[in-house]
Chains A and B, each alone.
Chain A
Amino acid sequence: MSWIPDRYRELRAMVGGVKPERDVSDELAHHLAMRVAENVARGMSPEAARAEALERLGDVGAYEREAEAIDVVAARGRRRIAVRDALGRETRLALRGLRRSPGFSLVVLATLALGIGAATAIFTLLDDVVLRPLPYPNESRLVWIESAVSGASQGPWQVSEAGYFYYRAHNTTFDALGAYAFGEVGVMTRDGAESRMVALATASMFDVLGLRTVLGRGIQPADDRPGHGSVVVLSHRYWMNQFHGDSTVIGQTLRLNDETRTIVGVLAPGEEPPRYYAADLWTTLNLDPAAPPINSHYLRVVGRLKRGIDAAVAQRDLERLTERFPADLPGAYSPGFMAKYHFAASVRSLHAAVVGDAARGIWVVLAAAALLLVIACANVANLFLVRLEARRREVTIRVAIGAEGAHLAWHYLTESLLLCLAAGCAALIVADVAIRALLAFAPSTLPRLGEIHLGWASVACALTLAMLEGIAFGSLPLVRRKMDVATLRDGSRGLTVSPLRRAARGALVVTQTALALVLLAASGLMVRSLVHLHDVRPGFDPHGVITLDVAPSAAHQATYEKAAAFWHAALDRIRALPDVEAAGATSALPLGDRGSCATLYVEAHPLAPGEEPPCVSKALVTPGYFRAMRIPLRGHSPTWDEVEGHAAGVVVSGPLAARMWPNEATIGQGLGGGNQPPFFHVVGLTGDVHVDGMDKPPAEIVYYPIVPIKGRGLWGPGGDFTIVARARRSSPTALVPEIRRVLRDLDPEAPVADVQTMDEVVAHSMARTTFMMLLLGVAAAMALVLSAVGMFGVLSYLVGQRRGEMGIRLALGASGPQVTRLVVWESARLAAAGVLIGLAGALATTRVMQSLLFDVSTADPFTLGAVTVLLLGVAVAAAWVPARRAARVDPVDALRAG
């Protein structure tokens, strides 16, 4: 390959710096010497001759520099022209080559654009969601602090107020700690009350996150004193939407839940709490360090580590402090509690906490996109090989009549680079469309959705992939045997394809089939998960139910009686609407995110000394709730008379009853949130209801009435409730305007939010699985099509090459169907090899998906069997057309042409 050094030198001359030829000084020296010699010949002394010669020359240094500068500029100009000419020449040549085979060019372009585009879109998702640092200064030093618990309760808890202050006062590893919580508040506007998400934060939270304001200031320590807060900071979004970016907003007031607060600042765009929700408004937590400690863990705590401290060290520091809770915070943390829950501190990087589960899913999808790209590349490689084959005679003739192999190879490389770079640009368009589609379908639980966009990293990704492929495909001719006249002879009369070349093609198809099987298996598993999720009986009937979150104004939450009166009146009027079949309200909708647990004491089974009561899910419900949700009930649910008479019992779920009273009748048992009588009495028993998620086991839950029995407290009075109303015939959303009218009549200031059908709530709870299935499904479908095309292409090629052989077979008496079978068998053989390798690959790799699946083993035989059959079927189908063509070969023709 002698052309490489030549081209290399040419390239280096084009790209490298310009070195002027240092010959001006030689010229001047020559001039000087000649003049001196002449002067001496005329009789001058050597000194005088030299002096005269120098005088005639003038300022030699300046002239030398001037001439050299002229040379440098000229060389630069020549190089520019050379580069432009070379680029133009090679591009023109390559374009001419590509234009001669438009079918090839278009198919390669489309295949690569899809492959690279999909990979780029998913890479962008990964980069923006998982890899990029969170948008806070000192992001690497921010950590998420939780209370690790195990045993009777699921998952980590947040941090208690007492714990937060204790950590803050005694830690040795943090620069600062901040805490926040979320709440929904009713904001009074000219159009009535609206429900808004508010972040309640300590002043230190603004410091820890480094939140920036565009106007005014953030929350400062002076605002965050125990008692009532008086300030509010607006998010940039809220400021733009509600105040249209009015800069005189600072100092104005806002009415939040009947409290008046002064607007002191507006945050910069994109400043949000790190986890869970976006906040429209920020107010103060106003925690009191002197308050008696309570065992309630609701604060979300973020810490900024001291420089040089890592999360593990901080974790040990906080664990050490947590061990002192029973001694220093005895009111809230008994030794029994600590032991039972294995209560400890947990510190992990904020980035890990935010990205969390999403990372695994996105890596899986990226792997899928990479496989898809490999499949696409296998197809394109095949196309290039076929094209090369087709050109073989042409090329051999050219070489034979003196074309330099070097120039031909160079030409192939330019052609391939040009095609792949064009595909890379097209891929950016594909990626942009794909990202828009992703954002439209992405579940809102995917973190950092707002940060996803096609950026420089994406462009770099697409163009790098395109470049690499361009070089790879362009180098294919180099790995092939040297072309000489012998090839010409062999190619023109060969009846069969050389075994090596056949094996290479076969390997491409086998690889493709194997990878397609892995992708199909992965998406098949997601489909099965989703089917299983849909098969789960939720324990209620979601069809035809509308839900609305309502926060009654303070007047209706003053006492239990007032709250009950409000809800009684509201629900009676809603039920009286002509299209409403049943209506009720609950504090915690199944599959919603407002569930919480409460300690539970059971009258029949007093705790042993030192034993702690379990924390069990709870919901407050009004009469009518079970009927509206169609939750089957044994016994009865409390009536309004019982509720308003402080005599209502509770309803419990089957799994709870099975745990608490395994061998006794459940109805009539006593229970409560306190250890002392009087107890609530169980009056009703539900079946299995999925409250925490369709993929979670049926909940252990107690449904309390909204008014306590005499002598007991409850978590009230009031609070936010969700109305559930079942439509009689019409679509449930048609009920919304009438329900809103009823609420406006009763309480004009009550904000209504989150209006959605129960079907939507159920779908939302499966959003992540649905999204994964969608992504993998699209990848798998593309993979299937691409491998079918690949199989078709290779078999068509093989049949074309073996025309002579087929002709002989037919001439010797083989029947058409026999020849057809031969070709189909070839295809099946290749596909079977691919499927076997793919099955092994799928078993090995889909294990990483375990946590994304529901009720399906990664080695699910049904899924693997189904995709195997599908792929084999597609392979045979792809073989059909070439096989028929083989059977129709005219023996005479084939033998003559061969």
Chain B
Amino acid sequence: MLALSVLLLVAVLVCAVVRPWGLPEAAVAVPAAVLVVGVGALPVEHAVDEAVRLGPVIGFLAAILVLAQLCDDEGLFHACGTWMARASGGRPRTLLGSVFVTASVTTAVLSLDATVVLLTPVVFATAAQLGVRPKPHVYACTHLSNSASLLLPVSNLTNLLAFASSGLSFTRFAALMTLPWLVAIAAEYLVFRRFFRTDLDAPVHAPRSSPPRELPVFALAAVALTLVGFVVASATGVDPAWAACAGALAMAVRAFVRKRTTVRKLVRAASLPFLAFVIGLGVVVRAVVDNGLDDLLRNVIPGGHDLWALLGVAAVAAVLANVINNLPAVLVLLPLVAPMGPGAVLAVLLGVNLGPNLTYAGSLATLLWRRIVHDHDTEVHLPEFTKLGLLAVPATLAGAVVALWASLHVIGG
């Protein structure tokens, strides 16, 4: 049963990357989930458990995805571009600083999807308009979508999954992760300043004109109130997903009234096939774990709560995220570390969130993606990219784990 489950998991992952015949992401994951239950690799009640556990998580994610898209429609990301352009005055180093601030806040509050999908093109356009080399700034965006996704449960799907099984409240999660988040961003900044120093030393051409200031008040207020909603919901024992839904709903009503969106656009922003994919993947991973992978991994995951144990857990998570991908990696590791307490769960998150800056999609997916999917004309410069990852990942990971260890001591797990 383990062999069959692993085979199905590989099929799900391969198809998610390759998308044979343009099939949607759920087209293989959902039938594979049905199959593992059908052949008895996973009892029906366990599959139902998994779906019930994942349901609210993906509902939360859908609300955040819709909120981010509506913020984009409202001009929030364009305004970020204008702010970065004005703040930098065409100076590459200052622009890098403002990209770091914008990308870190965007990732933390509106999730890494928003940074990769919505902010990256804005950052490129801003650098191009200023006559600054775009590479360090675009790379900063893509790196921070991972390394700045530590702060809140909403920052990354991996966090939402861990949050559901950690037993932590929203505010406690954020409090424990604040220091690791800051340390990871600071380490990333130092690595970028060094790695791209010749690009950042380039001469400054003062911009011919400064773009007018933009302030999308409604979007900013909606996001700020959603954050307040997370804290209030957490304090009153309500699921914080409702705060995200309320924020998305407020933005949607305004967009409808102003005829800026349609139901179709909103449904597309919610990425329903992706949500079905996550449930399908969750069920297949559960089958793999229950059929023997748990015993195997228990041998490599260190026990205990000291700094070395946290470093070990984070390292295993980072390696697994690089071998397969961080989404299946977190699904595999969570059931094993959840009984060890919140410290171990958060250490897993540091590994699976910071690790991907080495290979992004995980080696398997990257190999497939480079060989089959991608047009070689526009491929990323792999040696340079890997060198940057080899500097950034160990630095951010080690710093963030020590920071987590300190937070756990000061605040308590």
Asked whether A and B interact, the reply is no
**Interface residues of B, Cβ cutoff 8 Å to A:** none
**Interface residues of A, Cβ cutoff 8 Å to B:** none
